[in-house]
A and B are shown apart, each in its own frame.
Chain A
Amino acid sequence: MLHTVNKSPFQKNTFESCIKHAAKGSAVLLIEDGVYAALKDTSVSADVQQAMGDITFYALEPDVNARGLKGKVMDGVNLVDYAGFVDLTVKFDRVQSWL
């Protein structure tokens, strides 16, 4: 499954809930304010790192850039554009949007 998360992990528990319910082999795409979860050296970075064992992380690059986070994203988080977002929804059989 593809999961999207659009909330900052520092604002709501959305990201945490998503991770708890994402199966091995899933992809999590961080969009809108959700991209803050991809920042290096934050209080959630360890959680992201740990989850990377089972889940592939993506971040929507236009949202990363909009927020001035270019170059500050964790290694292992793949940046995609909107075309890449579409491709992910095609690749996975279903999408769960975590709001």
Chain B
Amino acid sequence: MSDEEMMEGGVQKKFCYVNRTAPYGTVYALEALEVVLIGAAFEQDVSVIFMDDGVFQLAKGQDTAGIGMKNFSPTYRALEMYDVEKLYVSKESLEARGLSEDDLLVDVEVKTAAEIRDLMEEQDVLLTF
């Protein structure tokens, strides 16, 4: 089956992207986002989880001029346009890092570890970056 045929319909699986790393120090946050965007075309049931240092990916006010790297944080706001709306953030990870929902640049659902655990158990495919 070609990518096009796959995109047109048929199998729908629950895809979960698990983000655990901070932005800029490594490439994983950026390249994970690229997978989410490309994957959005395949009409699967997508959830994105931010936990551990992954919560830092959503921090407001990222100014990368001084480090000479592209600020890709606005892209998280575009996810909604790609019908990727299930964004979950770990409550414990936020608290451990002194963050609240107000510090984040998109609307998210804050979930406890137990809720994230249950959410993960419902998924078909889990991708880690």
Contacts and interface: CB of A to CB of B under 8 A. Distances in A.
State yes or no: do A and B touch (Cβ within 8 Å).
yes
A21 B120 contact: yes
Contact of B92 (A20, A22, A93, A99): A20
B18 A23 contact: no
B128 interface: yes
B123 A94 contact: yes
B116 A21 contact: yes
Contacts of B120: 1, 21, 23, 96
Contacts of B20: 17, 98-99
* Main SS class of interface, A: loop
A97 interface: yes
A96 to B, nearest CB: 5
A42 interface: no
B128 A96 contact: yes
A22 B128 CA distance: 15
Contacts of A97: 126, 128
Contacts of B125: 94
B51 interface: yes
Please list the 3 inter-chain residue pairs (A to B) with the smallest Cβ-Cβ separation, ordered nearest first.
A96-B126, A21-B117, A20-B113
Interface of A: 1, 13, 17, 20-23, 93-99
Given A23-B120, A93-B124, A99-B129, 20 more contacts: A1-B120, A1-B121, A17-B20, A17-B51, A17-B52, A20-B113, A21-B116, A21-B117, A21-B120, A22-B117, A23-B118, A94-B123, A94-B124, A94-B125, A94-B126, A96-B120, A97-B126, A98-B20, A98-B128, A99-B128
